Amino acid sequence: MASSQIKPSKSHRAPKNFKRPRVALIIDDMGQRPILERKFFKLGLTLNFSFLPYAPFTEKLAREAHQKGFTVMIHIPMEAENEKNSGPGTLKLFMTEKEIKDKVREMISRVPFASGANQHMGSLFSQDPLKMKWVLEVLRENHLFFIDSRTTPYTIAPFVAQSLKIPFAERGHFLDNNLQEVALEKSFENMLAKARKQGRLIVIAHPHPQTLKLLKHHRKDLIDQVTLVPVQKLVEVRP
């Protein structure tokens, strides 16, 4: 993504008296590629990092992220409809309450300084109210918030979180589903438009080289156009 090929659009310019929307940007799938992932730490942006509990570098990088003042989260692997790349330790629908709760507690122990969690994959698991209840009960007992990644439109996580009175919010935009340069630029513009319209937005991205380059290129936009915040600033207990 050569910077000479990318020109800031007029839509990126803030009008006078512009009230900046709050955006929480979560980088998922952390703990796998330390050299690349540490570059996200050095962007000089307020980011949130969600770590795969069984990734080889999670404990070390989570501690580093915390020491640098970033919000640390647990990226809980949950069963997907297509079972594609759910990863080790995945929560499955066939598991008992004890198995699920023990597994979630183990995940919490593997990600130091975590203050919240979101799901990795989980398009099937997130549709089951009882299984999600067991997961969120463990998060509640550990005083952790939950962000619904919304990997399925049929997620029941909002209703379960509301019933359990757990601090909660939902993902509003995926930044880098398509890593093509033109698609990333369009997604970034859409993110800004959504943030302006809604006043607040939770965005999920991933530690790809293309995403790093995008954030570097648009660092000034992220500073001038929005207020990047720790994601816990956007969670709430719903009545």
The CATH number of residue 28's host domain is 3.20.20.370
pLDDT band at 10 (very low <50, low <70, confident <90, very high): very low
Q: Which domain holds residue 136?
A: 18-234
Q: Can you state the percent helix, strand and coil of the chain, rounding each to 5?
A: 40, 20, 40
In a domain, 200, yes or no: yes
In a domain, 8, yes or no: no
Is pLDDT at 196 greater than 70 in this prediction?
yes
- By the 8 A CB rule, do 28 and 50 touch? yes
In this prediction, residues 166-185 reach a mean pLDDT of 96
In a domain, 5, yes or no: no
The model's pTM: 0.91
**pLDDT for 2:** 39
Is pLDDT at 32 greater than 90 in this prediction?
yes
**pLDDT for 117:** 98
In a domain, 10, yes or no: no
Tell me, what DSSP letter sits at residue 115?
Answer: E
Domain count, the chain: 1
**pLDDT for 122:** 76
Is pLDDT at 157 greater than 90 in this prediction?
yes
Please name which of 62, 71, 147 lies closest in space to residue 111, comparing C-alpha atoms. Answer: 62
User: Token pair of 210, please?
Assistant: 């293309």
Is pLDDT at 12 greater than 70 in this prediction?
no
Mean pLDDT of the chain: 92
**pLDDT for 88:** 78
200: β partners: 22
Q: How many CB atoms lie within 10 A of CB 49?
A: 28
Q: Which segments of the chain does DSSP mark as H helices, in order?
A: 34-41, 58-67, 97-110, 129-141, 157-164, 181-198, 209-217, 219-224
Please give the Cα distance from 27 to 112 (Å, whole number).
17
